[in-house]
Amino acid sequence: MIEKDGRSRVVIEHVQPQINSGRFPVKRTVGERLTVIADVFADGHDEVRAALLVKHEQDSDWQEIPMEFQGNDRWEASFTPEKRGIYEYTVQGWVDHLLTWQKGLKKKFEASQDVGVELLIGANWIEEAAERAPTHEAQTLRNWATQLRNESNQSAGVTFALSQEVTKLVEAYPDKKYASLYHRTLFMEAERQKALFSTWYEFFPRSASYEPGKHGTFKDCEQLLPRIAEMGFDTIYLPPIHPIGDSNRKGANNAVTAQPGEPGSPWAIGSKDGGHKSIHPELGNIDDFVSLVNKAKEFNIEVAIDVAFQCSPDHPYVKEHPQWFRWRPDGSVQYAENPPKKYQDVLPINFETEDWENLWKELKSVFEYWISKGVYIFRVDNPHTKSFIFWEWCIREVRRQHPDAIFLAEAFTRPRVMEQLAKIGFNQSYTYYTWRNTQFEIKQYMTELTKTDMREYYRPNFWPNTPDILPEMLQNGGESAHISRVVMAATLSSNYGLYGPVYEFGINTPVYAGKEEYLDSEKYEVKHWDWNRRTKIRDVMTRINRIRRENPALQTTWNIEFGETDNQQLLCYAKVDDYKSNKILVVVNLDPHHVQSGWIKVPVQYLNLSAGSTYTVNDLMTDTRYQWHHEWNYVELHPGVMPVHVFRIE
Ligand SMILES: O=P(O)(O)O[C@H]1O[C@H](CO)[C@@H](O[C@H]2O[C@H](CO)[C@@H](O)[C@H](O)[C@H]2O)[C@H](O)[C@H]1O
Query: Parallel, antiparallel, or unpaired for β 560-563 and 596-601?
Result: unpaired
**Mind listing the pLDDT tens digit for each residue in 206-239?**
999 999 999 999 999 999 999 999 999 999 999 9
Helix (H) or strand (E) holding 501: helix 500-504
Measured N-to-C along each axis, helices 286-298 and 218-230 cross at an angle, to the nearest 10 degrees, of 10
Q: Is 268 in the pocket of ligand 1 (CB under 6 A)?
A: yes
Distance 546 CA to ligand 1 centre (A): 32
**Mind listing the pLDDT tens digit for each residue in 293-343?**
999 999 999 999 999 999 999 999 999 999 999 999 999 999 999 888 999
**Which DSSP state fits 11?**
E
Q: Is the peptide bond before 17 cis (omega within 30 degrees of 0)?
A: yes
What pLDDT does 3 receive?
Answer: 67
55 known ligand binder: no
For residue 525, give every residue at least 6 positions away whose Cβ sits within 8 Å of its Cβ, in sequence order, or none: 252, 262, 263
Residue with the smallest CA separation from ligand 1 atom 27 is 468
**Mind listing the pLDDT tens digit for each residue in 140-182?**
999 999 999 998 899 999 999 999 999 998 889 999 999 999 9
Distance 231 CA to ligand 1 centre (A): 27
Q: Are 388 and 360 in contact (CB under 8 A)?
A: no
83 known ligand binder: no
Q: Please tell me the distance from the alpha carbon of residue 604 to that of residue 625, in angstroms, as a whole number.
A: 18
**SS3 (DSSP) at 575:** strand
Distance 363 CA to ligand 1 centre (A): 19
If pLDDT is split at 50, 70 and 90, which confidence band does 501 have?
very high
580 known ligand binder: no
Give which of 272, 267, 249 is closest to 259, Cα–Cα.
Answer: 249
What pLDDT does 2 receive?
Answer: 65
Q: Is the dihedral of CA 22, 24, 25, 29 positive or negative?
A: negative
**Mind listing the pLDDT tens digit for each residue in 433-490?**
999 999 999 999 999 999 999 999 999 999 999 999 999 999 999 999 999 999 999 9
What pLDDT does 540 receive?
Answer: 98
Q: Please tell me the distance from the alpha carbon of residue 341 to that of residue 345, in angstroms, as a whole number.
A: 12
Q: Please tell me the distance from the alpha carbon of residue 28 to that of residue 81, in angstroms, as a whole number.
A: 8
Q: Is 308 in the pocket of ligand 1 (CB under 6 A)?
A: yes
Q: Is 82 a catalytic residue?
A: no
What pLDDT does 170 receive?
Answer: 80
In DSSP terms, which residues pair with 64 in a beta bridge?
53
Give which of 278, 471, 268, 502 is closest to 373, Cα–Cα.
Answer: 278
Q: Is 289 in the pocket of ligand 1 (CB under 6 A)?
A: no
Average pLDDT over residues 623-632: 94
What pLDDT does 649 receive?
Answer: 97
What pLDDT does 171 receive?
Answer: 87
Average pLDDT over residues 106-124: 95
225 φ, ψ to 5°? Answer: -60, -45
382 known ligand binder: yes
523 known ligand binder: yes
Q: Which of 381, 456, 479, 525 is catalytic?
A: 381
Q: Give the CB-side neighbour count of residue 173, counting CA atoms within 13 A.
A: 18
Q: Is 220 a catalytic residue?
A: no
If pLDDT is split at 50, 70 and 90, which confidence band does 4 have?
confident
Across the chain, mean pLDDT equals: 97
Q: Is the dihedral of CA 387, 388, 393, 398 positive or negative?
A: positive
Going across the sheet that includes 235-238, the strands are: 428-429, 406-410, 377-381, 302-307, 235-238, 198-202, 495-499
Distance 468 CA to ligand 1 centre (A): 7
Q: Please tell me the distance from the alpha carbon of residue 25 to that of residue 19, in angstroms, as a whole number.
A: 7
What pLDDT does 589 receive?
Answer: 98
Q: Is 379 in the pocket of ligand 1 (CB under 6 A)?
A: no
Average pLDDT over residues 382-406: 97
Q: Is 247 in the pocket of ligand 1 (CB under 6 A)?
A: no
Q: Is 473 in the pocket of ligand 1 (CB under 6 A)?
A: no
Could you identify the atom of ligand 1 that is nearest to the CA of residue 265? 17
Does the pLDDT at position 604 exceed 70? yes
Encoded amino acid at 346, one letter: V
If pLDDT is split at 50, 70 and 90, which confidence band does 558 have?
very high
Residue with the smallest CA separation from ligand 1 atom 10 is 267
Distance 161 CA to ligand 1 centre (A): 73
**SS3 (DSSP) at 90:** strand
